[in-house]
Chain A
């Protein structure tokens, strides 16, 4: 499976490159692109957030053998939920991840590295959903559900053997 990382709005080039480089070897390769979307069309003024379920529909269906993942810095929500780190179409090879709530607390190099790792882990997570994986009970598997940034730190940007086996059977 190849991965196409699409910038939704402003994305620091080095960040996208670091995320692509940090993907596990189970992905064959990838490329970085930019998708010109009008984020304001999915913006909810009352909540001051962007509707993730609206935004994901802006991402075009990828060709066979590819997964498309939008990367953004805006705060995402789903209509029923106060916030999400990202969403995807289960088995649909499309997803988005926001780094808004994954930001590092400090400006140190160590904190910055942790921040990049968080984004990479959540990208791997949403790519997994896009390929048909559901949440995993293994605490350090990328497919384990995390609801706060520190929870993401407990995971690795890789799939556990059980999830890899599931992927092979899909």
Chain B
């Protein structure tokens, strides 16, 4: 269903042609304007907007092709139908190559022109619907629950400042502080919000795999490369590429990323084709990258390229005033998800939440509230529902608690070498990273 009348602009230097067509389309119920030249047409588009243009290809001054190019810049969604005489069909074909919707030869068969414009009107309706849906999606962008602390208010201000630009952003902060959420917010507030938001966790993959994940590969590039694979860099074209744990990227891959950031082109692993890309880079790390650069573990040229604008996220323990608001938010979220009627927290429970140091930050807080909602069978969450508050004389024997404790123990025994710990636990590295993320365990 169309939400507004379709506006047609007939552009022809012959008055009787444009007037007769205008009369014809007005009878169809369209809003119709006329223009005698390309210049008049551009003025009409700027003044009234236009959805469909019927453009004569041969006009003195600005011809139909030139007008079409200008309309593409001024009103990219406008549908252009080229009108031509038999003698200029070749030019009309050229117009099609440059993006015209269709062409029609004068004089028109009434049925043909009626059908063509109806199809163009349907296209306009689809574009309008598509745009409305995209705007609805954009307006439903991720919300950053701040609790109103000055530190997080400053973060929001920084996001609002940098989002509309194409500047590379480095988000720093401890694990669980919400770095990916901030990256998503930057994307949602940017001019690239209708493009893709592509995420890669650089800490979860070995060097060779990371290279393939980022840049893709051609068939036969290496053992197991059974087909062509598009990498995250290619997938992020016209959107935002978010590289989490950028501090874990090996030096060789840093060089490759630096090149694509400077040249805006790359080649797939094992490929010869140069692929152009246009993306905005947002990175995140829990590491002190300046220290990593000083120690030679991170390339200084790459660091300067990604650290154009830095957004530091404060740990939860430095903004205890946010804890109650965050806890209420997660309680509403999880009790709704699980269809539980829990009205709030007991005074002891809230005191326990505010008093806990939250080494795993917001992610750990969310996990703690989710677990409490599962365990709670009363109206309020009690302190005993939290894993970090052990009831006197008893211990928590839940599988999740035992699993978390075991992972922490093995990691500590392996000096937090994730690869070694994964082997000890007989799981792969990605699974271990996911579990560490789930339990809010970070490497020192």
Contact = CB atoms under 8 A, between A and B. Distances in A.
Interface of A: 47, 53, 77-84, 87-90, 129, 134-135, 145, 147-148
Contacts, number: 57
Contacts of A134: 26-29
A80 B113 CA distance: 10
B107 A81 contact: yes
Given A134-B26, A135-B27, A83 B110 contact: yes
Contacts of B27: 88, 90, 129, 134-135, 145
A81 B83 CA distance: 12
Given A53-B16, A80-B83, A135-B28, 12 more contacts: A53-B19, A80-B21, A80-B107, A81-B107, A81-B108, A81-B110, A82-B109, A83-B110, A90-B23, A90-B26, A145-B114, A147-B110
Contacts of A148: 111
A10 B201 CA distance: 85
Lowest 5 CB-CB distances: which A-B pairs, in order? Answer: A134-B29, A78-B20, A147-B111, A79-B16, A80-B21
A77 B110 CA distance: 10
B17 A79 contact: yes
B108 A79 contact: no
B424 interface: no
A16 B14 CA distance: 36
Nearest to B14: A79
16 contacts: A47-B107, A53-B16, A53-B23, A78-B24, A80-B17, A80-B106, A81-B20, A81-B107, A81-B110, A82-B110, A88-B27, A129-B27, A135-B29, A145-B28, A145-B114, A148-B111
Interface in B1-48: 14, 16-17, 19-21, 23-24, 26-29
B106 to A, nearest CB: 6
Q: Secondary structure at chain B's binding surface: helix, strand, loop or mixed?
A: helix
A145 B16 CA distance: 22
B113 to A, nearest CB: 7
Contacts of A53: 16, 19-20, 23
Nearest to B107: A82
A170 to B, nearest CB: 14
Given A53-B20, A145-B114, A82 B26 contact: no
A81 B29 contact: no
Nearest to B106: A80
A89 B20 CA distance: 11
